[in-house]
Structure 1
Amino acid sequence: GSQIHLVESDPAHFAAGLVDTFLPYDSREHRRDEEHAERVTELLRSRGLQPHACLSYWDDCVVLAALVCERLGLRCSPVHAVRVAKQKSRTHQHLQRCRRGRPPPAAFSVPCCRLRTHGDVERAAASVPFPAVAKLEFGAGGVGVKVVESLEQCQEHAARLWRDLRDDADHPGIGLGWGNAMLLMEYVPGTEHDVDLVLFEGRLMGAWVSDNGPTRLPACLETAACLPSCLPADLQAQLVRAALQCCLACGLRDGVFNVELKLGPAGPRLLEINPRMGGFYLRDWIQEVYGADLLLAAVLVALGLPPVLPARPAPRTHLAGVMCLGSEHGAALGAGGGMRALRELQSRGLVRLNRLFEETAADGEYEEPCLSVACAGQSRAEACGRLLGLCQALGIDSPRYPVEHFLSHFK
């Protein structure tokens, strides 16, 4: 019974025929979001539309959605809070000032500096120790993230990225509508985890922890994941508490948020907060394993209704997945017939596929995963064993892309 009014920059978007009202509006230059919010509200008024909620799951548009909510008097976390969370260096610098609590939110922050010019790189190197991580300030999808071992490596990476990635047309969907400023962040050792949170009026309604496999250094693209987490309950609770404290300290009170952290000898450390629902496969996986729908929860919170989420039961299944890249797997998935085989297995309920792109072409140095392939099992070992066998049979596993190594964290 809901009516959906979609504002979308692409006038030929596939979803145009799936919604009640399609409102094509080019908002890709997000440094003008105040202006865009005014135009969007004018579009709504001109159509006589009075929505009861406004939200976005698209990373670039979370600030715009908050501004529209502010103008229409709709429920959302404050615009300032969403801006703080959206800008990575600003998140950490804000948290470093939050020193109340045990432990305080500052304990989870990581030293970092914003990079807008080549002069900034040299100044940042004086305060951020190497190895460090250089990445886009407003980036998404892990594109352009690199571990750098020295000032020279950082300068080279920044020069190349600023040359290649200037605006949204160069690589749509990775945050370039916000500009191509970067940041240099201290490298944090440990295992990487996602915490997906549902908050309503500052109260935690639900939280789910998933694990990531080791990344392919020096780039930091995700390789593998599993749900439920391998961690014991007390360490999962530490991650959830850190994620919650960081969100609340930034002012995020209402919505569904994805928080990326590392867990090392010093405890949880924040990588970044995504002030929207977790992307790629996360919504589907959490629904399959725990019966909780993050998208439904996001809609209910936006409507001002506290979502009723299933009490945390034992997981219904275990999922392990691996990411595929066009550069590594294009031949196996395309001409090799791998994609056809995967679709057949999916139709029989034997694998789970989440496509990010329809094409499997390589995207050079700034590549994103094109596909997540996952297997389920009654145990984590069973899920990983099925996945590894499948990857070996289809040519996804190779010496250049060692799936067994990527699954090694999930013991």
Structure 2
Amino acid sequence: MKSSLSFLAISLTAFLLGGCEGKGMTAIWIDAREAVGNAIAAVDITTDKQSLAVLPPKEAVGDVKTNPDPEKGRPTPDPKSSLDKRFKIYLESSGFLRRLQEAAITNDAYLTRECTSSYNVTLSEAKRQTKPTFKMAEDTPHPSAGVWHVSYTSRRCGETALYRAIFGGRTDAPPNMRISTPGNSTAPRGIARQIRAKIKNVAMAAAGLQHCKDRRIVDTRSEPQEKDVRNNEIEWRQRTAETWKLDICGRLVEIAVHHGLRVGMQKPHFTIIEAPEVQWTPSGRITPKEIDLPRLEAALTKVAAGDSRASLDYLWSEARREVPFAQTVIAGLLRDGKIGEVDMDRAAYWALRAAYGGYPAAMEMVGDIYASGSWVVVDRRLAAAWYRRAVERGATSAKEKLDALATTQLR
């Protein structure tokens, strides 16, 4: 354990300097991964009532039950009913609402939002794309083909957030899910993609941080559409003004965006209004400036020795301070039931939070969660996406899993 922890110190230093990239980082990654596994495997305190008392209330997921069967509680659709009616039944099913809870937890992990109360998700709107053709086979309770976009509200800790997600039907598995930009942007999908690609650089200038790599879209808000508007020498036949909020390494900035139809042009257009000067406010999101490696190593050594009370206190504090190794260890302990009952909602939350922070061990863990279906459903597409991110940062073990996943899908 001691030798693995010494390599952990190197890997964390490498992470702070830019991740597991460059010569020799693959070997460092392997030893760091072993340290994560050893730290999780060494803990067995499920019967230690005193140590359980130091655990905080449930983060992010409140009283949501762990891994319910998405197919249970689902109304049985009538094959003879209309497509619209059957789709409505699916959208109201407990299985689909559970997917929205999964999406809300993922969004909150991305935004590093924690909560101690229950999640309450409500579907606000669902729109089907005209292409590809939308279908619901008689022998599947969910759409078997087509794409639909949803917006939903997530209520927790006295706050309400508006989130969006995109789903794609499949015949042999539950629908694919992709988390979309938070908020209520009304920009067409292609325009929104272009805005996301350019707005982060504008936001970095507004935050006065030209080299920040941790850039996250926090929210979008739209004003009512206007007609025949002129601004900044641009004439619009139809224009929607929006405000996009971005978190740039802990600095919150607001950027104005206009999109719509310009006079003399047939295709949608957008403009990003650059701020005239640096202007930002603290976002409240922590970005760790330094890590106390000796103390972290000592805490993990105590975990391995069974002294869970002090070490868990420290691991929780480091996890909340956005130390990705601590977050990944906490996720593993929750996944394996080492600090109470197995809680996959909380495990997935902390693994995702560390993964969005750029830590390859967490990325691989998220891939494992989706590949195994231990959280909500099996989603091989998301598993492959997270394995691929981990591989890009030097995780050779994730490469083996990615290859195995591809082989399984070809069968």
TM-score by length of 1: 0.23
Q: Please say which structure displays the higher CA radius of gyration.
A: 2
Which structure has the highest helix share of the two?
Answer: 2
Q: What is the TM-score normalised by the length of structure 2? A: 0.23
Tell me: higher relative CO, structure 1 or 2? Use CA pairs within 8 A at least 6 residues apart: 2
